[in-house]
Structure 1
Amino acid sequence: MSAIKQRASFIDLVNEGEPFRLLFPAGLILGVLGIALWPAWSSGLLEAYPGLSHSRIMIQGHMTAFVLGFLGTAMPRMLEVRGFRFSHTVSAATGLALLSTMHLVHRHITGDIIHFLLLGSFVMLLMTRFRDRRDLPPPAFVLVFLGLLCALIGTLLQIGIQTIPDALPGLAFPLSRLLLNQGFLLLPVMGVGAFFIPRFFGMSHRQNFPESRSFTLPWLRRAAFAGSCGLLVIASFVFESMGWIRTGWFLRGSILVLFLVVESPAIRSNGSTGTLAKAVRIVLVSLPVGYFLMVLSPLHQTGLAHVIFITGFNLLTFSVATWVMLGHGGQSHLFKSSFWSFRVLAAALVLAMLIRVSADWIPGMPYTQYTLAALVWLGGVLIWTRRFLPLLWTPDTTP
């Protein structure tokens, strides 16, 4: 009977507008699946090279689950509208599982189509709620919209490339990958980071405006700055696709630094406010440094991109997910605490990144290092999961 009540309580929590409780564990499972492809391949369990399957599952499965879980929980609260229902969340989780399965069996067109439909339906749900809003989201969230748009266009281009390749220009292929693999993540990281990162350091942010359903001039000014930075990031994708790769990387890193300095004064803070804040510092360094290192060593861009993906996007994802789970699990008083399990996770991600990056410099054994980096990543995530996953079933009972 208690198990039935607990299951009903969990469904109620998700149905009350907290889709992260289902989508975060879905993202964990898909992340483990995507990373485990490397040790599975090196041990002979897989015949085909898993490079594309790994990339697609990590972006369209693992990271999309966390993006939808966070936005699906936060956006209705910011807009002061009804939350997503249990059916919406289950549909999203089912779509994520299906598209990841399709990529696992190398049916990438089908997986891309499911991803496009999944994101498109999510955007439509957000738009209907935005229409009924009683308040505006933070102005930097215009970057979240641009990020979702990048994912939709990038995925659609990928579908076109695989079905009618001769009908698209040559730059469509690199541009589609950049929009999907980087624009989809980098732009929301910037937008959410402007609102969220200062909170890790106990600082006020510049995205707080009086409650208003209508657009005000100060709100529009900050949104215009964020949108301009977002469009310059997208321009950097076009430059890179046209062959001006160093120009694209340098512009991307520079815009990122400019935006973070202007919108997140926490980047200049010397204070320490717990394990999560220290992890975010690693993120704030990794993202621009990864791009600038690629400018210096373009021949190693594939390896160096993992500075951005592992200790940038991935570490920030786990940091924000931990914050959300603590807050909604009635443990917001622990925001500034020290967590040994999260320190292990952060150390594992840093080590996995270093191992993966070094694979491009050590000839003769790159796939061994891919496997070792994957095992380190899996170990760190397992320890994090054991500590924080129970919070998904814990309601917030604080006033």
Structure 2
Amino acid sequence: MTLRHDPWRVLFPLGVLLAWAGVLEWLLYAVGATAEYRAVFHATAQIQGFMTCLAVGFLYTFVPRRTAAAEPTHLQLAVAAAAPVAATLAALDGRVALAQALWGAGLLNVAVFVSRRVLGRAGLRGLPGVFVWVPAGLAAAVIGAVLVAVAAVLGPAEEPELWRLGRGLLLQGFLTALVVGVGGTMIPVLTRGPGAAAPAAGSASGRAAQTIAAALFLASFPLEAYLAPRAGLALRGVISGAVLVSEARLWRPPSIPGLHRWLIWSSAWLLPAGYLAAAAAPEPRSTALHVVFVGGFALMALSVSLHVALSHAGRPDALASSPWQVRAMAGLLLVALASRLLAGVDAARSRPWLGLASGAFLLATVAWGSLVGAAVRAAAKSREASA
């Protein structure tokens, strides 16, 4: 079985390693090993490293199977793996503009891969209309990277609105659009079985409606940066939530066994809830947005990647049960989210809360790796025995 066929085997573990690089920044600051908390590096490692690897690993695995198109080439896979690492290293060195250039080049590579398979007739026949959010998310990522690079060169203090706009598209728009596009397509299947799948092909009017919704969502970023911050956040939460709820039919809870299915379902609700919470209490805005980052993005990514890994490793027993690793991952991510929120609310004791949040998050990835690693090793042994 080649890596081109199962690109997640490279990208998922790489993403978790980059998560360690980003979250250790919290832990080192909390225990006093570093004097300051490098927010830009942390965000780069988490979103442009960890989350990008998991998202691209899923897209490279899912899109060819769903559209009956070609798998990624070795070059596309190599670029997808190298760009997040290079961007994280550049951000660690304080070279923000270079980090965006490297990461943007990698995302452009992914955008070409997805667009060629999704925007043709075969792709449109194989995917529902809500999947247009995926190209929209990739476009937001590339545009956001360009704007952040320009603002970094000019100076964030000189161009604060441009910096906020670029960072918003990069850290929020990119992954939210991917969650809506992929989640609207796959959450019914992952939580209620193949019979709950959306129609294989979306109508032209349905794709047009989703394109308008995605455009309104992207418009929330300049609205937030230049005119009305709370209105921008509220619009973001309303649009993403409305599309997710309607397309994934989120009012229906999971109906097949497997704890990770409940985690996927819960994360889909937490995503718009985080934006609405940030709109209701925008100071400090970054605190409430961690409901989006940890409860929406990280919980969704780890749970979906768990499903991908276990299903491809031939472990339906683990998918239909609640292994201790999944229970531990869920509990630890809850602790990480609660502690990160308390770090923003209880400023006098922010360091201990950040230390607890970072430790819990890192242990959650260990639990994830324990289950995924065991499944992959078992599958490898099974293939060797049958060879």
Corresponding residue for 1:191? 181
Q: How does 1:346-385 map to 2 (within 5 A)?
A: 346-385=330-369
Please state how far the C-alpha of 1:128 moved relative to its aligned partner: 3.9
SS state of the match for residue 360, structure 1?
Answer: helix
Checking the alignment, whether the CA contact within 8 Å between 2:254 and 2:265 is kept in structure 1 is: no
Please state how far the C-alpha of 1:170 moved relative to its aligned partner: 5.4
TM-score by length of 2: 0.90
Q: How does 1:201-216 map to 2 (within 5 A)?
A: 201-203=191-193, 204-205=195-196, 207-209=198-200
Residue identity matched to 2:80: A
Instruction: Give me the whole-angstrom Cα distance separating, in 2, the residues matched to 1:362 and 1:46.
Output: 21
Please state how far the C-alpha of 1:61 moved relative to its aligned partner: 0.6
Q: Which runs of 5+ in 1 are unaligned?
A: 1-11, 211-217
Checking the alignment, whether the CA contact within 8 Å between 1:148 and 1:184 is kept in structure 2 is: yes
Corresponding residue for 2:110? 122
Instruction: Give me the whole-angstrom Cα distance separating, in 2, the residues matched to 1:94 and 1:390.
Output: 26
Corresponding residue for 1:85? 73
Please state how far the C-alpha of 1:296 moved relative to its aligned partner: 2.3
Corresponding residue for 1:14? 3
Checking the alignment, whether the CA contact within 8 Å between 1:205 and 1:263 is kept in structure 2 is: no
Relative to 1, partners in 2 of residues 1:255 and 1:282: Cα closer, same or farther, differing over 3 Å?
Answer: same
Checking the alignment, whether the CA contact within 8 Å between 1:287 and 1:307 is kept in structure 2 is: yes
The answer to whether residue 60 in structure 2 is matched with residue 76 in structure 1 is no
Corresponding residue for 1:215? none
Corresponding residue for 1:341? 325
Instruction: Give me the whole-angstrom Cα distance separating, in 1, the residues matched to 2:60 and 2:299.
Output: 20
Residue identity matched to 2:142: L
Instruction: Give me the whole-angstrom Cα distance separating, in 1, the residues matched to 2:320 and 2:307.
Output: 10
- Matched residue count: 378
Instruction: Give me the whole-angstrom Cα distance separating, in 1, the residues matched to 2:120 and 2:211.
Output: 23
Please state how far the C-alpha of 1:328 moved relative to its aligned partner: 1.1
Instruction: Give me the whole-angstrom Cα distance separating, in 2, the residues matched to 1:169 and 1:101.
Output: 25
Instruction: Give me the whole-angstrom Cα distance separating, in 2, the residues matched to 1:332 and 1:133.
Output: 33
Instruction: Give me the whole-angstrom Cα distance separating, in 2, the residues matched to 1:243 and 1:272.
Output: 45
State which of 12, 25, 48 in structure 2 corresponds to 1:24: 12
Residue identity matched to 1:139: G
State which of 240, 260, 263 in structure 2 corresponds to 1:256: 240
Corresponding residue for 2:285? 301
Structure 1 residues 327-385: Cα deviation after superposition (integer angstroms, max 9, x where no partner):
21112454332222111111111111111101122131212211210001111211221
Instruction: Give me the whole-angstrom Cα distance separating, in 2, the residues matched to 1:183 and 1:200.
Output: 23
Checking the alignment, whether the CA contact within 8 Å between 1:175 and 1:238 is kept in structure 2 is: yes
Checking the alignment, whether the CA contact within 8 Å between 1:261 and 1:268 is kept in structure 2 is: no
The answer to whether residue 48 in structure 2 is matched with residue 67 in structure 1 is no
Please state how far the C-alpha of 1:148 moved relative to its aligned partner: 0.5
- Of 277-286 and 354-363, the range deviating more from structure 2: 277-286
Relative to 1, partners in 2 of residues 1:169 and 1:50: Cα closer, same or farther, differing over 3 Å?
Answer: closer
Relative to 1, partners in 2 of residues 1:120 and 1:56: Cα closer, same or farther, differing over 3 Å?
Answer: same
Instruction: Give me the whole-angstrom Cα distance separating, in 1, the residues matched to 2:160 and 2:87.
Output: 26
Relative to 1, partners in 2 of residues 1:169 and 1:381: Cα closer, same or farther, differing over 3 Å?
Answer: closer
Instruction: Give me the whole-angstrom Cα distance separating, in 2, the residues matched to 1:312 and 1:109.
Output: 27
Relative to 1, partners in 2 of residues 1:100 and 1:74: Cα closer, same or farther, differing over 3 Å?
Answer: same
Structure 1 residues 104-159: Cα deviation after superposition (integer angstroms, max 9, x where no partner):
22222211110011111222233444577744333211100000000000000011
Corresponding residue for 1:214? none
- Of 298-307 and 331-340, the range deviating more from structure 2: 331-340
State which of 50, 53, 72 in structure 1 corresponds to 2:38: 50
State which of 79, 87, 93 in structure 2 corresponds to 1:105: 93
Q: How does 1:242-321 map to 2 (within 5 A)?
A: 242-269=226-253, 271=255, 273-321=257-305
Checking the alignment, whether the CA contact within 8 Å between 1:109 and 1:159 is kept in structure 2 is: yes
Corresponding residue for 2:165? 175
Instruction: Give me the whole-angstrom Cα distance separating, in 1, the residues matched to 2:54 and 2:375.
Output: 16
Over the matched positions of the two proteins, sequence identity in percent amounts to 27
Relative to 1, partners in 2 of residues 1:155 and 1:312: Cα closer, same or farther, differing over 3 Å?
Answer: same
Corresponding residue for 1:7? none
Checking the alignment, whether the CA contact within 8 Å between 2:23 and 2:358 is kept in structure 1 is: yes
Checking the alignment, whether the CA contact within 8 Å between 1:348 and 1:379 is kept in structure 2 is: yes
State which of 216, 225, 228 in structure 2 corresponds to 1:241: 225
Relative to 1, partners in 2 of residues 1:296 and 1:364: Cα closer, same or farther, differing over 3 Å?
Answer: same
Q: Which runs of 5+ in 2 are unaligned?
A: none
